[in-house]
Amino acid sequence: MQALVRTDEGTEWRDVAAVTPGVGQVLVQVSLVGLCRTDLAVASGRLRVDTPRILGHEFVGRVVAVGEDVCGLSLGDKVAADPVLHCGRCDRCAGGWQHACRRARFLGVDVDGAIVQQIAIPAPNAWRLPASLDDRIAALLEPVAACAAVLKTPIDVSQRGVVFGRGRLASLTKMILQSRGFLHVHCVHRGAEPMESDQYDFAIDTEGTTRSVGQLADSLRPAGVLVLKSRPLRPVELQLRTLLPKEPQVVLVNYADFADARELLLDPAIDFASLLGPVWSAERSARAFEAAALDPFRKHFVDLTSFPAQNSVARSQHQCVPSSDV
């Protein structure tokens, strides 16, 4: 089957071995993969990975085979994924911190990813979505979980807040906050007018630069909440000397619960369509990566359905009742 692989030389389509689902895994026929900053960094070599490595982590597809000991998922289910694979045995997993697992592996970075015709993933990482949901919106599950993490912070709907960033992550974060009742949220970006000091109750950074964090810290009122949610490749400096006297709460967040992210994805009040960019055919994937790198506003997708279908042996060991009615 075909996969888009990062090699020592660059990125290319390769024929890779077919996979079967192991115990506790499902095999997913991938239909669409969204491209995000992490994928672009791996493809360009800015984020180093062991090679060869299949790219991609924001995908949607259909379950085509079910391994042993899988409950709640059936053949034909549409699923999107939580891309952080966890061991389930370390102290952090035991404490409910699976996304901080000591042996966490991120799809498309630490292990082979999803720009491939079929991928086997642990069933707990597969989130079932309604068949009627637009594939492009379904593939937004992971970025929605990342943006919705801001809802875990000590901020309140009555407060005034600002989101720093120009692209779709800032827009998505703002839309999610608005959908949950936050009425006073503004977006600012690098080229905008400088912000006044001490005007916001909370400030959320989606850019991850020393400059953006510094501007946001200045814009916060004393004892405001500074939310850091991006994972820049470069270190970010905090000017503690000027930041400390205002005693802000600095909160770092990773992901929302993926069950909450799935609920948000199905919320018709959130205009996900405004974030959707073109769907590129697999043959034009190189162009898709170039275009995605130049377009911070819209999500670009690679379509995996143009390849001939794989033969897979559908196997369902247990009769399971679906865990939720979606």
Nearest to Zn ion of 35, 64 (CB atom): 35
Nearest to Zn ion of 86, 136 (CB atom): 86
- Asked if residue 87 binds Zn ion (CB under 5 A), the reply is yes
Nearest to Zn ion of 65, 93 (CB atom): 93
Nearest to Zn ion of 36, 126 (CB atom): 36
At its nearest, how many Å lie between Zn ion and the CB of residue 100? 8
Residue 132 CA to residue 298 CA, distance in Å, equals 22
At its nearest, how many Å lie between Zn ion and the CB of residue 22? 17
Among positions 36, 172, 275, 302, the unique one binding Zn ion when judged by CB under 5 A? 36
Site for Zn ion in 206-265 (CB under 5 A): none
Nearest to Zn ion of 87, 259 (CB atom): 87
| # chain residues binding Zn ion, by CB under 5 A | 8
Binding mask 139-178 for Zn ion (x = CB under 5 A): ---x------------------------------------
Asked if 304 and 115 count as a contact pair (C-beta separation under 8 A), the reply is: yes
Residue 145 CA to residue 83 CA, distance in Å, equals 11
At its nearest, how many Å lie between Zn ion and the CB of residue 175? 17
At its nearest, how many Å lie between Zn ion and the CB of residue 103? 5
Q: Which residue has the tokens 């143009």?
A: 306
Q: At what angle do helices 258-265 and 141-148 cross, to 10 degrees?
A: 110
- Asked if residue 90 binds Zn ion (CB under 5 A), the reply is yes
DSSP string, 99-111: GG-TT-EEBTTTB
**CA separation (Å) from 145 to 41, 181, 209, 219?**
20, 18, 22, 26
DSSP string, 157-173: TTSEEEEE-SSHHHHHH
**CA separation (Å) from 308 to 1, 118, 238, 311?**
9, 12, 51, 10
Nearest to Zn ion of 34, 224 (CB atom): 34
Nearest to Zn ion of 58, 303 (CB atom): 58
Nearest to Zn ion of 82, 218 (CB atom): 82
Query: Residue 4 pairs with which residues in a beta bridge?
Result: 13
Helix H or strand E encompassing 287:
helix 285-294
DSSP string, 192-228: SPPPPTT-EEEEEESS--HHHHHHHHHHEEEEEEEEE
Binding mask 57-86 for Zn ion (x = CB under 5 A): -x---------------------------x
Residue 290 CA to residue 39 CA, distance in Å, equals 12
Sheet strands (E) in the chain: 2-6, 11-15, 25-35, 53-54, 58-66, 78-81, 84-85, 105-106, 118-122, 126-129, 160-164, 184-188, 200-205, 220-228, 249-252, 276-281, 299-303
Binding mask 116-145 for Zn ion (x = CB under 5 A): --------------------------x---
Among positions 26, 43, 60, 101, the unique one binding Zn ion when judged by CB under 5 A? 101
At its nearest, how many Å lie between Zn ion and the CB of residue 155? 23
Nearest to Zn ion of 145, 226 (CB atom): 145
- Asked if residue 183 binds Zn ion (CB under 5 A), the reply is no
Among the listed ranges 7-15, 24-32, 43-51, 55-63, the one in contact with Zn ion (CB under 5 A) is: 55-63
Q: Which residues bind Zn ion (CB under 5 A)?
A: 36, 58, 86-87, 90, 93, 101, 142
